[in-house]
Structure 1
């Protein structure tokens, strides 16, 4: 699935250069679940953006199923993201004037899916996250946990190979956090997804089969002892 070799990302800050990632090497197989944990500013979200093709490294290789994402044209990179990668963010990123079903449908528009099929697939995706009776509700009519479920449905409706989640429970209380994590882990198992999640929450990190810790742009990986 993923093979990262020597991935470095540097930014200019005034007259100085800041390394967000420093020579990252990482292998992620099909169907893996990996949690990336670290302090704010440590590079974890930057790494996730590289895996999702949302940003390019300064140097190094990001091999995704045999293709180096760093070398793709913008058009091809956009296509890879649209077809293969689902994103979930802390802020939900729902369009406030669209219903839950319409928000989910937006993920299928770039793929050229016809309207009738979009509606059917969006409804099924919402049903799979427990919102089958909330299709016509606007985001403002939903709780935070329900809004994140809509965002999860939107990420899954295109049937991606990879699910990337950046602090998906950061805006939720502990009870809702646990519900969302149980949902995500169930979807990972049932659908055979490759699931990569960024968090600062140690409670979530302890649940992971593989934990990657990133500090000052340097990554260490360990296998969990959780059974």
Structure 2
């Protein structure tokens, strides 16, 4: 699935050059569930952006199914993101003027599906996350947990090969955190995408079958045989 080799990402900060990632090597297999944890500014979100083709490394390769995202032309990279990668963000990123159904449909527009099929698939995705009765509600009419469920449905409606989640429970209280994690885990078991999640939450990290700890741009991966 993924093979990262020597991935480095440098940023300019005034006169200084900062390494957000410093020669990261990482393999992620089909259907893996990997959690990335580390301090603020340690490179977690930068690594996720590389996996999602949202940013390119300064050096190194990010190979997804034999294709190096680091060197792919922008038009092809956009196509890969639209077809193969689903994203869930901490801030939900829902369009406030669109209903839950319409927000989920937006993920299907680049695939060229007709309106009726988009609506049918979007409704089924919302039902799968327990929001079958909230199809016409605007984001402002939904709780934080419900908004994140809409975002999860939007990410999964296109049946992506990869699901990337950046602090998906960061804006939720503890009970809602557990609820959203249960939803994500059940959907991962059902659909089987490769699932990579960034979190600062140690309670989530302890349950991960694979944990990547990143600090100062360097990464260490540990296996947790006892994880569910």
Query: Do they superpose with TM above 0.5?
Result: yes
What is the distance in 1 between the residues matched to 2:215 and 2:112?
41
How much is the aligned-residue C-alpha RMSD, in angstroms? 0.6
Instruction: Name structure 1 gaps, 5 residues minimum.
Output: none
Counterpart of 2:46 in structure 1 is 46
Q: Distance in 2 between matches of 1:121 and 1:190?
A: 16
**Structure 1 residues 63-82: aligned runs within 5 Å:** 63-82=63-82
**Residue number in structure 1 paired with 2:7:** 7
Moved >3 Å (runs of 4+): none
1:149-188 mapped onto 2 (5 Å cutoff): 149-188=149-188
**TM-score when scaled to structure 2?**
0.99
Q: What is the distance in 2 between the residues matched to 1:27 and 1:70?
A: 16
Q: 1: CA distance between counterparts of 2:184 and 2:9?
A: 29
TM-score (norm 1): 0.99
**2:210 matched to 1:207?**
no
Aligned pair count reads: 227
The equivalent residue for 2:108 is: 108
Q: What is the aligned partner in structure 2 of residue 129 from structure 1?
A: 129
Which residue is equivalent to 1:31?
A: 31
Q: Classify the secondary structure of the residue corresponding to 2:70.
A: helix
Q: Give me the whole-angstrom Cα distance separating, in 2, the residues matched to 1:225 and 1:215.
A: 23
| Deviation string, structure 1 residues 152-172 (Cα, Å, up to 9, x no partner) | 000001110000000000000
Q: CA deviation at 1:192?
A: 1.0
CA distance in 2, matches of 1:179, 1:193: 20
Hey, what's the Cα distance between the residues in 1 that align with 2:113 and 2:216?
Answer: 42
Give distance in 1, aligned partners of 2:126 and 2:52: 23
Q: Which runs of 5+ in 2 are unaligned?
A: none
By how many angstroms is 1:225 displaced? 3.5
